[in-house]
Amino acid sequence: MPTESFDRLNNINYRGLWLSCRAQLRNMLRQKALSEEAKERGSIVNIASQLGIVGRPGAAAYCASKAAIINMTRSNAIDYSDDGIRVNCVCPGVIETPMTTTSPEMVKALKPAIDIAPMKRMGTPDEVADAVLFLCSPQASFIQGHALVVDGGYTIN
């Protein structure tokens, strides 16, 4: 992989998310608690990938950039817990989007990853959104620093 490609990938996947988190945290630290009893100021849910949990041949830089997001999530969860900010992330698997379904070549290339997962299908954007909404909700009020995998079981194989 050329250095320029490595830098581009990390600028998008890791640095971009780091910059977004930094901005969100600055705003959340300035705001009052959402409720008196909970002292909660907000919840951040980062998007990583199943490939931040497991490796894949030929994808070392991508996998490392997503693993960095998971560990940044955990570190921020520790650093900002006393401030009433929860920080978690979702690790999607192969999701049915225009990027993954538009070209027959891409569908063919993703087939082995889909077949590894016990559910043997692509996930939907709504399934990822539901996980994000759960982590933002009061039902997840005691979840901190977690990487919730939404991958149809890919990472258990």
DSSP-derived secondary structure for 103-120: SHHHHHHHHHHHHHSTT-
Q: Helix axis angle, 3-10 relative to 60-80, nearest 10°?
A: 30
- Which among 14, 62, 80, 154 is annotated as catalytic? 62
Measured on CA atoms in the order 19, 23, 24, 26, is the torsion positive or negative? positive
Annotated active-site residue 62? The verdict is yes
**Catalytic residue IDs:** 62
